[in-house]
Amino acid sequence: MLALKVFDGGRRTTSRRLASALRLCLRRRVKIVVLPLGTPRRASASVGRALSRLVRSGSVVLVSAGNEGPSFGTVGWPGSRLSSLAVASYDYATNKISRFSSRGPLA
- Per-residue confidence band for 9, with pLDDT thresholds at 50, 70 and 90: confident
CB-CB contact of 81 with 42 (8 Å) = no
Percentage of the chain lying above the pLDDT 90 cut: 36
CB-CB contact of 91 with 98 (8 Å) = yes
Question: Which pLDDT does position 107 carry in this prediction?
Answer: 63
CB-CB contact of 103 with 71 (8 Å) = yes
Signed CA dihedral, 62, 35, 37, 14: sign only: negative
**In this model, does residue 82 exceed pLDDT 80?**
no
Which pTM value belongs to this model?
0.79
